[in-house]
């Protein structure tokens, strides 16, 4: 457990940010609430008895004040295309670790491209996409690899009982679509492809009792950015159950509704990861509840490991690159059910 270390949460009053604040406090950290909305920030600070520091990505001095004296910063504020750069710069000035929960492909790609060498040279730790999309799939793929040093392909299939998007998810998606234009992204043959055809509709056989389900193939999520950064796998593909894909794109799908005292929705998830090399196949799966809520223990566990030196790399790093993936996943036992099959 943390011993009262201050951690800035930028975007603390967002849907995911609130889960992160609660998880950090439960682990013994003292969250410093930050963001640009003065009234909402002060209301949240008053509710939890925490300090609020108003900051905007358009005002570097305000970000410096928000991070002053803290051990790290977690960026929960989308659209991340706008917030990642300024908050990373502030973290580098403050010489503290930076983590985010970004699921925007372009923002994730920018982070690796723009900060990899600079962060490595400075001995800084920057962990992007440390969330349900990105971090969890990356950890599962790394764990599934086991002692393999390379594989032919990795497949990460998501089965969500529903996907009621937050306002932040909708906004981030709109920003990504605007940046991408008419193209969709696919990672194949060790490189990114910009495609204009429709993503294929396929079927995926999930572990029982879920079984075979229709999925949208090449439903490219943040894992497709993080996995190839450190694993020698030339083809990485993600899939989404068709019903959930329809939910998140439909304009009138409602936002998540809390169904327990922690604020979690009744949404359940199953992440099924398969890596193949030659004729061999290895699999890792994780089950849990609420993709937004589970992001909080993911990023908080990552933070705890960074601050206690349980890391394997510096610079801009994927979850499986910097952490012991099986150990990390087992540490999430209260929040996910893990099944790892190495053949």
Using pLDDT thresholds of 50, 70 and 90, give the confidence band for residue 182: confident
Residue 180: per-residue pLDDT = 86
Residue 240: per-residue pLDDT = 98
**Tens of pLDDT, residues 86-133:** 999 999 999 999 999 999 999 999 999 999 999 999 999 999 999 999
**Tens of pLDDT, residues 7-16:** 999 999 999 9
The yes-or-no verdict on residue 342 having pLDDT over 80 is: no
Tokens of 207: 């572990």
- Residue (of 116, 178, 155) closest to 284 by Cα position: 155
**Per-residue three-class SS string for the chain:** CCCCCEEEEECCCCHHHHHHHHHHHHCCCEEEEEECCHHHHHHHHHHHCCCEEECCCCCHHHHHHHHCCCCEEEECCCCHHHHHHHHHHHHHHHCCCEEECCCCHHHHHHHHHHHHHHHHHHCCEEECCCCHHHHHHHHHHHHHHCCCCECCEEEEEEEECCCCCCHHHHHHHHHHHHHHCCCEEEEECCEEEEECCCCCEEEEECCCCCCEEEEECCCCCCHHHHHHHCCECCEEEEEEEHHHHHHHHCCCCCCCCCCCCCCCCCCEEEEEEEEEECCEEEEEEEEEECHHHHHHHHHHHHHHHHHCCCCCCCEECCHHHHCCHHHHHHHCCCCEEEEEECC
**pLDDT (mean) for 25-51:** 97
Residue 81: per-residue pLDDT = 94
**Tens of pLDDT, residues 256-276:** 999 999 999 999 999 999 999
The yes-or-no verdict on residue 3 having pLDDT over 80 is: no
The yes-or-no verdict on residue 183 having pLDDT over 80 is: yes
Using pLDDT thresholds of 50, 70 and 90, give the confidence band for residue 176: confident
- β-pairing, 153-160 with 268-277? antiparallel
Residue 1: per-residue pLDDT = 58
**pLDDT (mean) for 30-43:** 97
| CB-neighbour burial class of residue 18 (10 A; exposed 0-12, middle 13-18, buried 19+) | buried
Instruction: Name, in order, each residue with C-beta under 8 angstroms of 31's C-beta and a sequence gap of 6 or more.
Output: 6, 7, 8, 9, 12, 20, 21, 24, 25, 48, 50
Residue 341: per-residue pLDDT = 84
What is the percent of the chain where pLDDT is above 90? 94
**pLDDT (mean) for 325-333:** 97
Within a 13 Å sphere around the CA of 207, how many CA atoms are in the beta-carbon half?
Answer: 17
Using pLDDT thresholds of 50, 70 and 90, give the confidence band for residue 4: very high
Taking residue 166's Cβ as centre, other Cβ atoms within 10 Å add up to 15
Residue 280: per-residue pLDDT = 96
**Tens of pLDDT, residues 122-138:** 999 999 999 999 999 99
Residue 2: per-residue pLDDT = 65
Yes or no: say if 153 and 276 are a contact pair by the CB < 8 Å rule.
yes
CA 98-35-288 angle, to 5 degrees, is 65
**pLDDT (mean) for 172-184:** 88
The yes-or-no verdict on residue 78 having pLDDT over 80 is: yes
Q: How far apart are CA 343 and CA 340, in angstroms?
A: 10
Q: What is the model's pTM?
A: 0.97
Residue 343: per-residue pLDDT = 63
Residue 99: per-residue pLDDT = 99
**Tens of pLDDT, residues 284-322:** 999 999 999 999 999 999 999 999 999 999 999 999 999
């Amino acid at each position: 457990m943390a011993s009262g270390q201050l951690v800035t949460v930028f975007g603390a009053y967002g849907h995911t940010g609130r889960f992160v604040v609660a998880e950090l406090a439960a682990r013994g950290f003292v969250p410093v609430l930050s963001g640009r909305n003065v009234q909402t920030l002060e209301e949240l600070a008053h509710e939890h008895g925490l300090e609020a520091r108003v900051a905007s990505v358009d005002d570097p001095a305000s970000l410096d004040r928000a991070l002053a004296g803290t051990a790290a910063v977690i960026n929960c504020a989308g659209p991340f295309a706008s917030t990642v750069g300024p908050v990373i710069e502030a973290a580098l000035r403050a010489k503290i670790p930076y983590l985010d929960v970004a699921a925007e492909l372009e923002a994730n790609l920018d982070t690796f491209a723009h900060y990899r060498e600079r962060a490595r040279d400075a001995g800084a730790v920057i962990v992007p996409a440390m969330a349900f999309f990105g971090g969890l799939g990356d950890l599962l793929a790394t764990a599934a690899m086991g002692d393999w040093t390379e594989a032919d392909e990795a497949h990460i299939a998501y089965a969500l009982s529903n996907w009621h998007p937050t306002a932040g998810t909708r906004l981030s998606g709109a920003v990504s679509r605007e940046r991408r234009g008419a193209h969709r992204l696919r990672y194949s043959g060790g490189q990114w492809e910009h495609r204009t055809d429709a993503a294929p509709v396929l079927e995926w056989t999930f572990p029982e009792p879920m079984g075979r389900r229709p999925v949208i193939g090449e439903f490219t999520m943040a894992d497709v950015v993080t996995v190839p950064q450190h694993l020698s796998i030339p083809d990485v593909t993600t899939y989404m159950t068709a019903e959930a894909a329809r939910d998140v794109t439909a304009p009138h799908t409602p936002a998540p509704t809390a169904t327990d005292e922690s604020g979690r929705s009744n949404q359940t998830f199953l992440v099924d990861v398969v890596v193949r090399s030659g004729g061999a196949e290895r699999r890792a799966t994780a089950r849990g509840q609420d993709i937004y809520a589970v992001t909080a223990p993911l990023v908080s566990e990552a933070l705890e490991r960074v601050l206690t030196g349980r890391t394997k790399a510096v610079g801009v790093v994927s979850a499986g690159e910097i952490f012991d993936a099986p150990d990390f996943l087992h540490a999430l036992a209260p929040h996910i059910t893990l099944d790892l099959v190495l053949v």
